[in-house]
Structure formats: structure tokens, C-alpha cells
């Protein structure tokens, strides 16, 4: 049974940091592109960061470039998102996702429908 479970969300002041984790089970992480998406109230779900496959290239949304870092630990079956210098506009529910595909690329930030598996989401609130 495939499962993705996010953790690490919370409330933080502007300029602060959070590290999100996503525990994966039921599939091979190396066979999938892995990503973080977020969705703010009244907004569409948007891609934040992706580990593409087969080359493992990293792609980031312009809004988070230089502040967020995506990584994975295959041995721990986990995906991470380190978020630094957080801003109020980063407030959203954050989701991890996995896609079993052969051709990767930056398009993975823009097409949520190609993802096969999703977590339940974790809330991140940035406010003073």
C-alpha cells in the first residue's frame, strides 16, 4: 500500500526556518520523481520543488529559489524540504507527491496531474 505522510509544519515568524519531512512507503523512491507542492486558501496548488528522474535534477519555483532546498534519503525512505528565510506569502498547506515516469524536467513543477501519489498535507503558517 502506497503512503506518503508529511510532518514538520507549524507556525513561524518571518525570517524563520522549518524542515518538512515526508515518509514514503509502498513504492521505490528511485523510480519516481518526488516533489513538494503547496496550496494557499483560494489559490491553485503550485509546485515548489522537484527532484526529477532519471537524472535527479532539482527544480525550484522562482518564488522559493535560494531559500528552499529539496532532498531525499532513500535509505530512510524520506523526502525533505528545508525552508529558510520564510515569508508570509509562504503560508500554505504543503504536500509531498511522487510520480512514476520516465521523462523528467522542469514541467514537473507545473503539472500536478502527472503525480500518482499524494500526502495529506501539513500546514505552514508564517506570521508575526
Tell me the three state secondary structure of residue 52.
coil
For 4-58, what is each residue's pLDDT tens digit? 999 999 999 999 999 999 999 999 898 899 999 999 999 999 999 999 998 999 9
Burial class from Cβ neighbours inside 10 Å (0-12, 13-18, 19+) for residue 87 reads middle
Give whole-number Cα distances, 74 to 8, 31, 34, 114, in Å. 19, 11, 11, 22
d(CA 58, CA 111): 16
pLDDT confidence tier of residue 102, bands split at 50, 70 and 90: confident
Angle among Cα 97, 21, 52 to the nearest 5 degrees reads 40
Give the pLDDT confidence score for residue 74 in this predicted structure.
93
Q: Helix H segments across the chain?
A: none
* Mean pLDDT computed over 108-119: 96
Amino acid at each position: 500500500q502506497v503512503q506518503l505522510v508529511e510532518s514538520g509544519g507549524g507556525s513561524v515568524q518571518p525570517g524563520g526556518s522549518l524542515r518538512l519531512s515526508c515518509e514514503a512507503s509502498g513504492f521505490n523512491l528511485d523510480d519516481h520523481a518526488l516533489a513538494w507542492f503547496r496550496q494557499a486558501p483560494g489559490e491553485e496548488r503550485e509546485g515548489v520543488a522537484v527532484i526529477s528522474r532519471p537524472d535527479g535534477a532539482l527544480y525550484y519555483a522562482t518564488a522559493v529559489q535560494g531559500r528552499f532546498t529539496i532532498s531525499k534519503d532513500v535509505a530512510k525512505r524520506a523526502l525533505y524540504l528545508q525552508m529558510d528565510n520564510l515569508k508570509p506569502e509562504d503560508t500554505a498547506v504543503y504536500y509531498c507527491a511522487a510520480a512514476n515516469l520516465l521523462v523528467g524536467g522542469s514541467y514537473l513543477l507545473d503539472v500536478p496531474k502527472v503525480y500518482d501519489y499524494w500526502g495529506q498535507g501539513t500546514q505552514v503558517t508564517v506570521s508575526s
